[in-house]
């Protein structure tokens, strides 16, 4: 009984630490998503809407994701705001979700400083190629993906928007200044996104805390660092799913794996795979891009991470 209580306390402490650590990024993601809906000039960004498709809309979403800082948990509320504001095609949203945790100016500089220019170039190239490929595939099969899609507006946790939109159209808001109207819309969008994704975020944090508390300290470098051959790539891709890696944290972990003897290819596989397939991200993605697209997203991540590592190992040999 005492052991069980100790484990529960460890899980509780881990949940608190994880939530406190990640929540600022999550909060920033919600604010950014609300800003997408409230402040971005719609006339200049109509090419993101569902009426248009192709390279230009994907490029805009991927570039924005690469420049905006934030971990994978911050990505989801930003994607929800993007979807609410412009209703882009599903592949555009998926590409944004894919790219955002992979690259930011800070993580690129950190990778260069700690892991060297070769790993940095491989990370950047793989991120852009993977984002475009995912976006084009999801757009091409969009009709199939959205058949059972549970998007933000259809989630049991989501806010029904019709009443808010109707009230804004019929209320004295038209008499307000443009700035006050935008501020009111920002807070309305902020509350809607917060209520939509927070339950999935907290559930994901609870599961991640449970796994982190049960996982022995230094277990990843200890066991994965000695892997070799095909097993190294498979383990490197799979081990990132249950853990949560915050922005920049993947770099020192990858460095520790290389110091333990893991090859450059499997190390890149872990670096990429640990960023986009954590449990909180998967749970929130289901609410934004739908169940089928989320399943494909996870499988694509695993194939992408292993394939990138194999190609990098070939290039280095």
Q: What is the pLDDT of residues 53-104, one digit of tens each?
A: 578 888 888 988 888 766 666 777 888 877 776 678 889 999 999 998 888 8
pLDDT band at 172 (very low <50, low <70, confident <90, very high): very low
Q: Is 248 helix (H, G, I), strand (E, B) or coil?
A: coil
pLDDT reading at 224 higher than 70: no
Structure tokens at 316: 């280095």
Structure tokens at 193: 């996104």
Max alpha carbon distance in the chain (Å)?
68
Q: Name the one residue in this structure whose structure tokens are 């991200």.
A: 281
Quote the pLDDT of residue 259.
Answer: 75
Range of the domain at 19: 2-316
Cα–Cα distance measured from residue 61 to residue 127, given in angstroms and rounded to the nearest whole number: 13
Q: Name the one residue in this structure whose structure tokens are 């491989």.
A: 122
Plot region of 218 (φ>0 → left; ψ -120 to 50 → alpha; else → beta): left
Q: Name the one residue in this structure whose structure tokens are 């929800």.
A: 80
pLDDT reading at 48 higher than 50: yes
Give the count of domains, the chain. Answer: 1
pLDDT reading at 219 higher than 80: no
Q: Is 310 helix (H, G, I), strand (E, B) or coil?
A: helix
Q: Give percent of the chain with pLDDT exceeding 90.
A: 15
Structure tokens at 146: 């959205």
pLDDT reading at 154 higher than 50: no
- Tell me the average pLDDT of the chain: 74
Instruction: Enter the pTM of the model.
Output: 0.72
**In terms of pLDDT, which residue wins out, 161 or 81?**
81
Structure tokens at 185: 């819309």
Cα–Cα distance measured from residue 92 to residue 289, given in angstroms and rounded to the nearest whole number: 10
Do 89 and 141 meet the contact criterion of CB atoms below 8 Å apart? no
Instruction: List, as one string, the DSSP characters of 203-257.
Output: HHHHHHHHHHHHSPTTHHHHHHTT--HHHHHHHHHHHTSSS---TTTHHHHHHHH
List, for residues 281-310, the tens digit of each pLDDT value.
788 888 888 889 999 999 999 899 999 999
Those residues with Cβ within 8 angstroms of residue 158's Cβ, 6 or more apart along the chain or in another chain: 152, 192, 195, 196, 287
Tell me the C-alpha to C-alpha distance, in Å, between residue 139 and each of 88, 93, 242, 297: 10, 10, 28, 13
pLDDT band at 244 (very low <50, low <70, confident <90, very high): low
Q: Is 241 helix (H, G, I), strand (E, B) or coil?
A: coil
Least confident among 137-141, 146-150, 163-167: 163-167
Quote the pLDDT of residue 199.
Answer: 76
**For the chain, give me the number of helices (H) and strands (E)?**
15, 0
**In terms of pLDDT, which residue wins out, 276 or 114?**
114
């Amino acid at each position: 009984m005492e052991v069980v209580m100790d484990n529960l306390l460890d899980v509780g402490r881990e949940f608190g630490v994880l939530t406190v650590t990640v929540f600022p990024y999550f909060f920033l993601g919600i604010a950014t998503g609300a800003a997408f809906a409230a402040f971005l000039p719609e006339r200049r960004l109509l090419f993101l809407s569902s009426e248009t498709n192709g390279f230009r809309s994907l490029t805009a979403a991927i570039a924005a994701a690469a420049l905006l800082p934030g971990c994978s948990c911050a990505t989801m509320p930003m994607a929800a705001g993007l979807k609410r504001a412009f209703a882009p095609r599903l592949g555009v949203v998926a590409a944004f979700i894919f790219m955002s945790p992979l690259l930011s100016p800070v993580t690129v500089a950190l990778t260069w400083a700690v892991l060297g220019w070769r790993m940095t170039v491989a990370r950047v190239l793989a991120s852009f190629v993977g984002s475009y490929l995912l976006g084009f595939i999801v757009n091409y099969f969009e009709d199939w993906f959205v058949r059972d899609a549970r998007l933000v507006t259809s989630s049991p946790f989501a806010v029904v928007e019709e009443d808010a939109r109707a009230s804004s159209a019929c209320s004295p808001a038209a008499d307000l200044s443009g700035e006050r109207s935008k501020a009111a819309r920002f807070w309305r969008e902020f509350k809607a996104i917060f209520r939509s994704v927070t339950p999935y975020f907290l559930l994901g944090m609870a599961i991640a805390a449970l796994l982190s508390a049960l996982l022995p300290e230094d277990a990843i470098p200890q066991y994965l660092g000695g892997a070799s051959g095909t097993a190294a790539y498979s383990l490197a891709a799979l081990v990132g799913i249950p853990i949560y890696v915050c922005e920049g944290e993947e770099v020192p972990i990858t460095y520790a794996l290389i110091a333990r003897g893991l090859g450059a290819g499997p190390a890149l596989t872990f670096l990429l795979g640990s960023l986009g397939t954590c449990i909180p991200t998967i749970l929130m993605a289901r609410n934004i891009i739908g169940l089928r697209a989320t399943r494909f997203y996870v499988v694509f991540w695993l194939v992408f991470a292993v394939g990138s590592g194999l190609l990098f190992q070939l290039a280095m040999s």
